[in-house]
Structure 1
């Protein structure tokens, strides 16, 4: 069955992790473009505030309180979508949590919790969505991964591991659905560093407040990539040119990239004297205050030229252009090193 995706204004879109950061930006953008939304999150109060705010603007929105690590809770999301809108057309697996600290510092129970949400939550959503979309005649599944699925970084080992796992899960799901001609598009969106409350929400074992390393991008950049994937079948989209470049460089020169990470990776992820909003701190097991953007003093780019190029050009052409740029950058670095 050929993949045929509806225009966004005719779609019903499920978004997990919908009350904060990338998920919140996606729901707001989808609603503004006429899509019906099913917003999913643990934070019931934030969900109700989101529903009231968007409904007042005339948006079509339903909500479902769910922890995506619970398969039964994820299955209820489909029931909400059917009851409110007759079904769903696109499912966005966005919910995620994290920790900061070395592999030894982070307790094994916290490693497992990060996997429960970031990997098993995506698995639950993917299986439930695929079952429903098969019966519906097709649609889109969009998984929000990370450039850290390509390139691990110090202090975020469990998170990096889950994003590597999400890469494998997404590729396997795509092949299985393609083989059966299910008519379901499967896309992996890989954000770079995005100005969300993630550093404040993450459980921190470092001796300094965490931050995301620059360059940062606004959550709307990720929403742009996600909603494009709901309408246009794509394998992978990188949200943010800085993250894309670091991913390519790490593949072309892995040991050099390791050395850079070892030298500056920890410092680049710390923000002394700026811990952000205490009400947001540590949502590993329970929801905390949610918001679109982080409260730390950072600069975030409002758009990504690299994303626009990916949307406009063929994937092979984009990889060729960026791969050539990475080779030139490595060549310049080696020349300077010899000198």
Structure 2
């Protein structure tokens, strides 16, 4: 069946990770726009407070306490949605946790915990939602990250889960399309967003963590998520800084590696502003919930790049795609010129040529002895 999504005001949404950051912004904005919401979180006290606050303003909201790493708990969410509203139309897999530190510093058990929530939580929600929506239509929206395109130093486990979520989302989309299920599957890729994530993450660095600039407000992600609930899209980038980072990483991966190695750790530390200590480390249990981080940062309230990905801005879409293609094309044209130079060196008629890389050649009369010149790298 073809994909036909309802207007947001007619929808019932399920939102995981609903009491903090991007999830909280999504719940608040969805209710403000007239949608009904089932808010899901581990934090029961925060859920009750959220329900009471939004219901006071005539918001339609139900709550469900669940850890998304537990499949049985995720299946109970469907019962809550059906009991409160009769069904749901869109399912947003947003819950996520993280760590700061090198791969060696983070204990293997913590690596697994990050995967349990960030990957298996999305898998659980996707399977449960697909079973409910198959044949009746709707949307599954997974909140990934630009770190699914480009990993960052000090966040290896988190980055690995976001790579896995991208693969999971693409596979789910193909399977549902193949079956004609009528379900839209979208991956949202936020850049750095001003949420409590740095305070909530378990930290193994010797300094308090932060997110590298530029930062965007959580409402930017909420805007992307809610747009995807009503308009089929494959991918939406939330934040131009993240989009440019992704383009750069594809066009010049080694340069991006070097930038990360040189500045990545420092950009993710804020020794003079550790944030709220009561939010510290929610890896295994919930902490104080909030919409934004408590560190003193500047966050942009809107994203031109996100608006450019909506149908009302085709010129901007073309411009962004053109810029990305220009960078990638430039990289491969440069590589092609170097490879072409090497080939032409070897085919000159009266000379034997020894290629010394980097487009340089040694020319000797044919039959004369050739000594191959090599350059050894020196380590710093």
CA RMSD in angstroms comes to 1.6
CA distance in 1, matches of 2:249, 2:140: 28
* 2:146/2:242 contact within 8 Å kept: yes
Aligned residues of 2:18 and 2:39 also touching (Cα < 8 A) = yes
Structural mapping, 1:208-223, within 5 Å = 208-223=207-222
CA drift of 1:311 comes to: 1.1
Which position in structure 1 is the counterpart of 2:324?
323
Counterpart Cα distance in 2 of 1:325 and 1:277: 43
**Would the aligned equivalents of 1:48 and 1:63 in 2 still touch at CA under 8 Å?**
yes
* Displacement of 1:321: 2.6
For residues 322 and 78 of structure 1, the distance between their equivalents in structure 2, rounded to whole angstroms, comes to 43
Does the aligned pair in 2 maintain the 1:245–1:326 contact within 8 Å? no
What does residue 336 of structure 1 align with? none
CA distance in 2, matches of 1:329, 1:8: 42
Please identify which structure carries the higher helix content: 1
Q: What's the counterpart of residue 334 of structure 1?
A: none
Greater C-alpha Rg: 2
Match of 1:204 in 2: 203
Tell me how far apart the structure 2 counterparts of residues 229 and 27 of structure 1 sit (CA, whole Å).
Answer: 14
Calculate the TM-score normalised by the size of structure 2.
0.85
Which residue does the alignment assign to 2:343?
Answer: none
Structure 2 residue matching 1:222: 3-state secondary structure: helix
Unmatched 5+ stretches in structure 2: 333-380
Higher relative contact order (CA 8 A, sep 6+): 1
**Is structure 2 residue 272 aligned with structure 1 residue 284?**
no
CA distance in 1, matches of 2:176, 2:224: 22
Aligned length: 330
Structure 1 segments (4+ residues) deviating >2 Å: 312-322, 324-331
TM, length-normalised to structure 1 = 0.95
Contact 1:186 1:234 in 2 (8 A): yes
**How far is 1:317 from its partner?**
3.3
Distance 2:247 2:86 in 1: 42
Match of 2:187 in 1: 188
Runs of 5+ consecutive residues of structure 1 not aligned to the other structure: 332-339
Question: How far apart in 1 are the matches of 2:291 and 2:121?
Answer: 21
Q: CA deviation at 1:322?
A: 3.5
Residue 304 to residue 325, structure 1, CA distance change in 2 (3 Å): farther
Q: Which residue of 1 aligns with 2:104?
A: 104
Q: Which residue of structure 2 lines up, in the alignment, with residue 337 of structure 1? A: none
| CA distance in 1: counterparts of 2:156 and 2:319, whole angstroms | 29
